Structure 1
Amino acid sequence: MNRVDAGHHRWKRFLACLLAAVLAVSPLAAAQDDVFPDGDGQDDTGTTGEPSGNGSSDWTVPAIVAGAAASALLIRWLRERRQAVQPPKPTKGERDMLVQLQQQGPEFAPRYNTSAFAAIGMVRGGWPFVLDFAHLQPVMVTLRISARGVPDVYTLRIPFGADETGRHRLQFHLPPAFGDSERPAAIAVTATDMSGERMEPSFRVLALGCGPRAVGSVAIEEVSFLPRLIRAQAREQASYRFFSHSEFPSAVAEFMRVEPANDGERHFFVNEAPIPGGVAAGRSIDPRQWDGRDAGQRISTGTHRLKIRAWAPTEGWITAWSDSRVKVSP
C-alpha cells in the first residue's frame, strides 16, 4: 500500500470512529459543557483550559457531517490532538506532519460546514494569528487551537450581538505555551447562535492564518472570482486574482462547490490549480482562469467559491476565501 492509500485508509477509519462517538453523545450544548467548561479555567483573554485527554497519531482533518453533530465532532477531535503527558521530544507522527505542512501548506477537509470546520496548520508561541469573517445575524464565534504537548486547548469565545453584524477581524498573538519552534496544531472554528445550541448559517469565513507573513493586515486580500455565471460547454471561464501583502514561495487556488443549508453552508472540494513560483509581496497575481470542471474534467454544476492557500516553510501560512461566487451551468 503506498503512502497516499495508507493515509486515506487511516482517515476513513478515524472518521468512522469519530462519527460513532458523535452519534453517541447528547446535544451540542451538553458536549460543549463537558469538554470546554466555562468558569474557573477562563482568564481575562477568554482562553479556557481543558483537562488533558488521550493522544492520537492520526492528524487528518475530519470531514464535517452537519450542524450540531459537526461541532461535537470537532470538539472531540480536538481533545484527541493532545497527549496525556507532554512528550520530551516530538513524536514521529508530529515530525512527519510538520514536514508535510511545510511542503504542502495548511490542511483542510475535502468537505466541510463553514459554521463548524477544522484545519491543521503550523503554530508557534508568540506568532500572530488572524481570523477574518462576516455574518448577518447575531453569532457566538468560538476558536479553538490544540497542539500535542500543550496541556490546554486555547479557546477564544466571543459574542457578536444584533448591532454587531457585518465583517470582523480577530487578531492576537499565541501564548508562549505553544513553544519556541514551529509545530502542527488543530484549529477549529464554530459559529452558533447565542445559546450555543444551533449553528449560525449566515457565518462565512474570509481568512484564517498564522505566522509573521500571514498577519499585519490579512496577508492575502481582494480575492476576486468572476463572473457570476459561466456556461462550461460554451467554453466560458471564470477569472480569479488576489493581492498579497507578503511573499509566499508556495500557493494554490482551490475551487469549492457551495451548497446552502440551514445549519451552515457546505463546501466541497472540486479542483485545484497550483500557482507556480508562489506569490510576491505587494502585488496582485496576474488574472488566471478556471474552466468550471472538476479534477476528473467533468463539469461541476452549481455555485462555487474560490479558496487560496499560501505558505512559507517557517514563516507562517494564510488561507483566504472569495466573498464572490461563480455559478457553473452546463
Structure 2
Amino acid sequence: MANVNEGQRRFRGYLAWLLTAALAVSPVLQASTTGDYDDYQPPSRDGGGGDNDWRVPAIVAGAAALVLVGSWLHRRSEAAQRSTEDDGDVIDRLQRNGPEFAPQYNTSAFAAVGVVRGDWPFVLDFAHEQPVIVTLRISAQDVPEIYTLRIPFAADDVGRHLLQFRLPSAFGDSERPAAIAVTATDMSGERTVSSFRVYALGCGPRAVGSVAIEEVSFLPRRIRTQASEQASYRFFSHSEFPQAVAEIMRVEPADDGERQFFVNEEPIDGGVAAGRSIDPQQWDGRDESQSVSTGTHRLKVRAWAPTGGWVTAWSDSQVSVAP
C-alpha cells in the first residue's frame, strides 16, 4: 500500500490541470482497422434496450481495442449532444443494475458505462510493470466534450498508483450516464501493453475514500472440480452499497494486454455494509451453464447505490480451475 500512497501524493498536485477537454480523438484511434470485436449491448433484465442505449464495446485484441475504444467513445460524445425522452431509461438501468462492462475485454483497453455528476470524486487504482501512458476518457450524456486525463509513467514510475480527483462542474448538478474508457499503451501511444492491471474504478461519494472496496480475496490458487473443491472469496467495504454483484472472470495473458471473459456471477444478498467484510462466499468452478470453467480466473466486484455512486474492484489473486 506504500506505493499507492506515494503515487497518490505524486500526482494529486497536478491532476487539476491534467484533466482537460479533448474534442478530437488521437490519429491512432481514428484509424480504420479490422479485428475480432463487436458492439455489446449488456442484457437488460427487464427486456429493455434500443438505439439510445450506450453500448459497451466487446474488446479482444490490442490494436483493434485502441481503435474501437476511440471510435466508440467519439460516437458516444456525438450522441451525448442529442437528448431524447429516453435518456432517463439509461439512468434507471444503471441505478438498477450497476455499472456495465462488456462480457469480454482487453484490460489494457476497455470501456464501461456508469453514472457521473459534476464535483463527484473519481478514482482509478492500477499497476504496471513497464513504462506506460495511461489515458482515461469520460464522455457524459449532454456534455459535448470528451474529458481526457493522459499521464505518462517512465521506467522509474512502475508499480501501483491511485489517481483520485473531482469531476469538473461541466458534468452538471444531476446524475447522468457516462462512457468511461481506460487505455494503457507503450510510450508510442500506438500499442497496448501486457503488464497493465486495474484494481478499482469508481465514481461518487460512496465510491471514494481511498477506494470503497478493497482487500478483494479469491483463494485458493488451484481447485479441482472432480474433487468437489471450491474457491472462496470475500472483500471489505468502506461504504454501504445496497446492491453488489461478484463476477467470476476467466483471464488469458497476452502480449498486448490480459483478456478477461465473463464466466458467472452471484448477487451479494442484502448488498454490503460500511466498515466490514462480507461473509466468505463460495464458487464451484462452473460457469452459468454449469459447465466446468477450466483455466485461470479473477474476481470482479461491482457495487452501487441508487444515488451516491458506484465502484468496481478486481482481485489481485487468481484461482486456477481443473476438472
Give the TM-score, by structure 2 length.
0.85
Partner of 2:74: 79
Distance of 1:92 and 1:298 partners within structure 2: 42
CA-CA distance at 1:83 after TM superposition: 3.7
Q: In the alignment, which residue of structure 2 is the partner of 1:313? A: 306
**Letter aligned with residue 284 of structure 1:** S
Structure 1 CA distance for aligned equivalents of residues 217 and 276 of structure 2: 14
Q: Does 1:172 align with 2:165?
A: yes
Residue in 1 that maps onto 2:289: 296
- Aligned-partner Cα distance in 1 for 2:174–2:161: 29
Unpaired runs of at least 5, structure 2: 1-15, 26-50
Task: Tell me the CA shift for residue 93 of structure 1.
Answer: 3.5
Structure 1, unaligned runs of 5 or more: 1-42
Deviation by residue 1:234-256 (Cα, 9 ceiling, x = unmatched): 11000000000000000000000
Give the letter for the 2:166 counterpart.
H
Determine the structure 1 residue equivalent to 2:58: 63
Instruction: Check the 8 A contact 1:51/1:151 in 2, yes or no.
Output: no
Please say which of residues 299-308 and 77-86 is displaced more in the overlay.
Answer: 77-86
Instruction: Determine if contact 1:110/1:268 at 8 Å carries over to the other structure.
Output: yes
Distance in 1 (CA, whole Å) between partners of 2:80 and 2:158 is: 42
CA deviation digits over 1:110-156, x for unaligned, max 9?
00000000000000000000000011111100000001311110000
Residues 162-241 of structure 1 mapped to structure 2, 5 A cutoff: 162-241=155-234
Count of matched residue positions in the alignment of Structure 1 and Structure 2: 283
Matches of residues 266-281 of structure 1 in structure 2 within 5 Å?
266-281=259-274
151 and 116 in structure 1: CA distance in 2 versus 1, 3 angstrom threshold = same
Q: Deviations over 1:143-193 (max 9, x none)?
A: 000013111100000011101111001100000111100000000000001
Paired residues of 2:219 and 2:318 also in contact (CA < 8 A): yes
Shift of 1:46: 4.1
Give 1:1-330 correspondences, 5 Å limit: 44-50=17-23, 57-83=52-78, 86=81, 90-330=83-323
AA at the equivalent of 1:149: D
Assess if the C-alpha contact under 8 Å between 2:53 and 2:90 holds in 1: no
Do the aligned residues in 2 keep the contact of 1:83 with 1:149 (CA within 8 Å)?
A: no
Q: CA RMSD in A?
A: 1.5
Could you say which residue in structure 1 is the equivalent of 2:41? Answer: none
Partner of 1:246, secondary structure, is: coil
Instruction: Give the residue type in structure 1 aligned to 2:205.
Output: P
2-side partners of 1:287 and 1:270: how far apart? 19
The code of the aligned residue for 1:317 comes to W
Report the Cα offset of residue 49 of structure 1.
2.4
Aligned-pair identity in percent equals 74
CA distance in 1, matches of 2:185, 2:221: 29
CA deviation digits over 1:180-209, x for unaligned, max 9?
000000000000011101111100000000
* 1:93–1:82 Cα change, 3 Å: farther
In 1, Cα distance between equivalents of 2:306 and 2:147 = 23
For 1:49 and 1:164, how far apart are their aligned partners in 2? 25
The alpha-carbon deviation at position 84 of structure 1 amounts to 6.9
Question: Which amino acid is 1:174 matched to?
Answer: L
Q: 1:69 to 1:215 in 2, by over 3 A?
A: same
Amino acid at match of 1:206: Y
Partner amino acid for 1:307?
K
Q: How high is the TM-score relative to the length of structure 1? A: 0.83
The worse-fitting range, judged by mean Cα deviation, of 56-65 and 100-109 is: 56-65
Alpha carbons of 1:128 and 1:46: their partners in 2 closer, same or farther (altered >3 Å)? closer
Distance 1:327 1:276 in 2: 26
Q: C-alpha displacement at 1:69, in angstroms?
A: 1.1
CA distance in 1, matches of 2:19, 2:321: 42
Question: Does the 8 Å contact 1:83/1:148 carry over to 2?
Answer: no
